[in-house]
Homo-oligomer: A and B are copies of this chain.
Amino acid sequence: MSEGSFSKPRAAKKQSVRAVDDAEAGGLKRTGDKRERILRAAVEVFARQGFYKTRVSEVAKAAGVADGTIYLYFDSKDQLLLSLFEDRIEKLLTFLAKEIAALASPEEKLRRIIELQLGLLDGERELAEVVTIIVRQSNTLLREHAAPKFLAYLDAIASVVAEGQREGTFRSDVSPHLVARAVFGALDGIALTWALGKPEVGALKRSASQLSALILGGIRSSERTSP
């Protein structure tokens, strides 16, 4: 279920001039700007047209830079996608950790995760978009490069499930990882069909609460539901 080997760049002689984000570095902050602008443009265009149907020049145009400029920040189109994914999922994980830490019960946490992945948390929609979108673009990328980070995200969900199981709130006859995958899949599926249809503003929010009920209903240990 994957794309075999990634296309070899004709000559990877020139590593990204700035692989790391020296963005916050004081001074001009011009360059960090540009890398970010390109990434932002990339999410948007990849989301709309798909990775393969998107030309590098289209990303450049959307970012307001010259085609060649993209290669000053990323080694190849493939690397751009990969960087995009890594950069964003990193932030997603960080954000998730912070959000989750503040909450007491596993139920609350799971609910929050659902909201987060559905892009319902204010100002963080882009983070959500990337997971849902990018995962669909290149299985190889996922398999060969991004899987670890992706699995870390799943792990974060699984931890919450395991926590609930230890507490006795969640049923113990299901594998936390399985739940994590199923939850991710369900969320992804919702986002997908939502995207396939015409986006109704309220709909996604409504879906989120129903989905929470459904998932929590499914995972809640029965002792608790039948007092």
In this complex, the member of A52, A181, A190 whose beta carbon has the largest number of chain B beta carbons within 10 angstroms is A181
Binds B, one of A67-75, A86-94, A105-113, A215-223: A215-223
Mark each residue of chain A from 202 to 214: 1 if its CB lies under 8 Å from any CB of chain B, else 0. Answer: 0000010011011
Chain B hits for A140, CB < 8 A:
50, 53
Chain B hits for A186, CB < 8 A:
181-183, 185-186, 189
A68 to chain B, nearest CB (A): 13
Question: How many copies of this chain?
Answer: 4
Report, as a range, how many residues of chain A touch the other chain. 35 or more
A49→B226 CA distance, assembly (Å): 48
A154→B215 CA distance, assembly (Å): 19
Q: List 27 A-B contacts (CB under 8 A).
A: A1-B133, A1-B195, A2-B49, A2-B195, A3-B50, A3-B53, A4-B49, A136-B139, A143-B196, A147-B196, A171-B217, A173-B213, A174-B214, A178-B190, A178-B207, A181-B190, A181-B193, A182-B186, A182-B189, A182-B211, A183-B189, A185-B189, A186-B189, A189-B189, A216-B218, A222-B226, A226-B226
